[in-house]
């Protein structure tokens, strides 16, 4: 579908994933909005995404996704609830349904069942996808950042890009709420340390975060520990392991006061989790330890401001909640000193280690992340980020 129809067009976008995943989709959502400014764009996403979706200028409505068999993010609803959900979507008579969820093996049949007259999305070369007039499905790119992969679809739809930056709209009331609740955060330059992550396999050790926190205090920064209420024990462990005091705000912030806090900070040190994408959206320098994840795919677009450190192992990327390998090598392979070196560069320049915007090479390959010891790269490094097999759809 090309960008020909505007007013009155009803668009449904499926992206029922976590907060960081939705942030990575905001450039593609902006392309949709710019191409169809009069359309009503509804985002079908997880309930936890609603707060962000309702602030996005590119989205008019958030629809809570009830889950679906084969998708791990939520418990699958029973047959009756599945039927009622599909029937409710069909009654909406969407003109266009866009699958920004992923490679399509589970969600393409679901998307087709929702009754939209035009469909667009991805396929992995093996899964079913709609064909014929009114369908625009491209091969899921297996290289490049998540932002670039999703923009490959809007490119194929003929929609002009509106930049690649992420959207996270912090408001004045969020800043006021932060200072009313935690007035001490305005007294000193801040560094946010975020030791949590949804999966334990994605977490760098508590004692290493504590060592980094102490070093940042000794560099003149006030360290603020952040996390959800379920991560209070984790952040308390970091605070107890530190020699210097830190402000532990785990469970005490909302999504938006957390954004306001990060906005005031000079640096974020975190695991590869949603907060790292918020830092990218707010252009706050960050040092991210990527344990187990596909570092190339989830790295921030601005490699001059954000450093992602990762240790190559044969088992990456990992889908395990708990690392099955002895010693958690992908996490333990990233040293405290490598994190501090990256933090020092960011604090010294206000940007990342590469002011030109070009990545620092490791032996034998180039990639937008930094190996702590410049070890030989895994095979994934050998593909150039940003390439895509997308072609332009003309339906």
pLDDT of residue 132: 83
CA dihedral over 158, 300, 356, 366, signed as positive or negative: negative
**Torsion angle defined by CA atoms of residues 19, 23, 25 and 27, in that order, rounded to the nearest 10 degrees:** 170
Task: Provide the pLDDT for residue 118.
Answer: 96
pLDDT on residue 304: 79
Cβ atoms of 61 and 205 within 8 Å: the answer is: no
Looking at residue 393, what is its pLDDT?
A: 64
d(CA 229, CA 99): 32
Which residues share a beta bridge with 253? none
Q: How many residues make up the chain in this entry?
A: 395
Return d(Cα 203, Cα 322) in angstroms, integer.
10
CA distance 210 to 233: 14
Tens digits of residue pLDDT in 60-97: 999 999 999 999 888 889 999 999 999 999 999 999 99
What's the CATH number of domain 10-156, 3.40.470.10, 3.40.50.2000, 3.40.50.300, 1.20.1630.10? 3.40.50.2000
> pLDDT value at position 4?
53
Three-state DSSP class for residue 53:
helix
Lookup result for tokens 């790269």? 377
pTM: 0.85
pLDDT score recorded for residue 389: 32
| CATH class in words for 172-378 | alpha beta
Domain residue spans of the chain: 10-156, 172-378
Tens place of pLDDT per residue across the chain (395 aa): 444 556 789 999 999 999 999 999 999 999 999 999 999 999 999 999 999 999 999 999 999 999 999 998 888 899 999 999 999 999 999 999 999 999 998 999 999 999 999 999 999 989 999 888 889 999 999 889 999 999 999 999 999 999 999 999 999 999 999 999 999 998 889 999 999 888 888 789 999 999 999 999 999 999 999 999 999 999 999 999 999 999 999 999 999 999 999 999 999 999 989 999 999 999 999 999 988 778 788 888 787 789 999 887 878 887 777 878 787 878 888 899 999 999 999 898 775 333 333 233 332 332 334 433 333 333 332 222 332 333 456 44
């Amino acid at each position: 579908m090309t960008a020909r129809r505007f007013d009155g067009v009803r668009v449904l976008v499926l992206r029922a994933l976590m907060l960081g995943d939705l942030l990575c989709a905001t450039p593609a959502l902006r392309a949709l909005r710019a191409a169809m400014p009069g359309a009503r764009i509804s985002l079908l996403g997880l309930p936890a995404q609603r707060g962000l979706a309702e602030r996005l200028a590119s989205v008019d409505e958030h629809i809570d996704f009830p889950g679906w068999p084969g998708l791990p993010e939520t418990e699958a609803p029973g047959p009756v609830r599945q039927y009622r959900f599909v029937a409710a979507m069909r009654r909406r008579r969407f003109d266009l349904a866009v699958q920004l969820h992923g490679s399509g093996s589970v969600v393409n049949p679901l998307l087709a069942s929702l009754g939209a007259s035009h469909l667009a999305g991805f396929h992995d070369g093996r899964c079913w996808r709609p064909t014929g007039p009114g369908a625009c499905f491209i091969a899921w790119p297996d290289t490049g950042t998540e932002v670039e992969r999703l923009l490959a679809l809007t490119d194929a739809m003929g929609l002009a890009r509106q930049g690649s930056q992420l959207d996270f709209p912090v408001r004045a009331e969020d800043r006021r709420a932060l200072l009313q609740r935690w007035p001490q955060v305005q007294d000193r330059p801040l560094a946010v340390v975020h030791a949590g992550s949804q999966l334990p396999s994605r977490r760098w050790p508590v004692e290493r975060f504590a060592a980094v926190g102490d070093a940042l205090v000794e560099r003149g920064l006030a360290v603020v520990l952040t996390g959800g209420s379920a991560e209070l024990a984790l952040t308390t462990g970091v605070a107890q392991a530190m020699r210097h005091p830190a402000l532990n705000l785990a469970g005490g912030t909302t999504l938006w006061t957390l954004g306001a806090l990060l906005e005031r900070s000079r640096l974020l040190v975190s695991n590869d989790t949603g907060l790292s994408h918020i830092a990218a959206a707010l252009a706050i320098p960050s040092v991210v330890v990527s344990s187990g994840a596909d570092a190339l795919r989830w790295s921030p677009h601005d490699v001059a401001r954000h450093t992602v450190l990762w240790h190559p192992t044969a088992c990456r990327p990992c889908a395990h909640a708990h690392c099955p390998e002895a010693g958690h090598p992908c996490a333990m392979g990233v040293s405290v000193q490598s994190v501090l070196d990256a933090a020092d560069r960011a604090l010294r320049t206000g940007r990342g280690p590469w002011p030109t915007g070009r990545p620092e090479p490791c032996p034998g390959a180039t990639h937008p992340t930094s190996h702590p010891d410049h070890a030989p790269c895994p095979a994934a490094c050998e593909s150039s980020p940003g390439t895509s097999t997308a072609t332009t759809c003309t339906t």
